[in-house]
């Protein structure tokens, strides 16, 4: 990596890492549960992978869009190593969370042949039970994941040790911020359609297998949790 890196290259690098994660997750889903996707031909499988980028980018920008905008502000403090470091480590925490959800969703898919959804909200209602399961029944995978996260943090810190070069002229920079702001809205919504992308949009082709391959775990879990409302119970 060069000693200096523009803020645009830095945003592209972080985005590429997240999209790479989702690509690996989709490949693992397709490979591990091959019988579920045998009905899909080569073209249908390729289209599912291509269409999935829309949902991958949407969930990524949902969590990183605003930090990306702050990275571009043409003021000295926002280009400081401290501020940029905060954004980089926030992105890493989100990345680890996405990896955790992707792995969990991949395992869950083997039980019910679909992505995790509203049941995640129900499970998190009993955090004591969930923690007990993690610490006892899945202790070894949790240790491996934790050690991997620590190693990943070391690699992440080395990846972003270079300084960011900031354009001196503010007018072009503000123009790029406006462009980035519009891109965050469009990508975060999943396109230019009237309503933001939803889970059901992955199944517009009419194929259930194609829809499952198109979706990623974090997108399905996040939007299922958002759409789940607690039932108001009136007891007699």
Give the chain's mean pLDDT: 85
pLDDT for 215 beyond 60: yes
pLDDT for 68 beyond 50: yes
Global pTM? 0.86
Give pLDDT, residue 192.
87
List pLDDT tens digits, range 79-100.
677 888 899 999 999 999 999 9
Give pLDDT, residue 2.
46
CB distance 60 to 188 below 8 Å: no
pLDDT for 125 beyond 60: no
Question: Which distant-in-sequence residues (6+ apart) come within 8 Å of 26 by Cβ?
Answer: 49, 52, 213, 216
């Amino acid at each position: 990596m060069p000693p200096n890196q523009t803020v645009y290259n830095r945003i592209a690098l972080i985005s590429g890492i997240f999209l790479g994660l989702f690509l690996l997750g989709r490949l693992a889903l397709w490979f591990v549960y091959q019988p579920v996707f045998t009905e899909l031909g080569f073209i249908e499988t390729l289209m599912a992978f291509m269409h999935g980028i829309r949902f991958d980018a949407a969930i990524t920008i949902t969590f990183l869009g605003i930090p990306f905008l702050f990275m571009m502000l043409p003021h000295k403090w926002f280009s400081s190593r401290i501020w940029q470091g905060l954004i980089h480590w926030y992105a890493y925490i989100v990345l680890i969370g996405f990896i955790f959800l992707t792995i969990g969703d991949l395992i869950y898919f083997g039980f019910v042949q679909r992505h995790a959804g509203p049941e995640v909200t129900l499970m998190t209602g009993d955090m004591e039970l969930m923690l007990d399961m993690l610490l006892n029944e899945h202790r070894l995978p949790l240790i491996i994941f934790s050690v991997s996260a620590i190693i990943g943090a070391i690699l992440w810190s080395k990846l972003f040790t270079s300084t960011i070069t900031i354009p001196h002229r503010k007018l072009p920079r503000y123009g790029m911020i406006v462009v980035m702001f519009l891109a965050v809205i469009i990508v975060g919504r999943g396109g230019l359609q009237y309503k933001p992308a939803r889970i059901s949009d992955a199944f517009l082709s009419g194929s259930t297998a194609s829809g499952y391959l198109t979706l990623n775990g974090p997108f399905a879990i996040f939007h299922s949790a958002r759409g789940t409302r607690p039932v108001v119970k009136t007891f007699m």
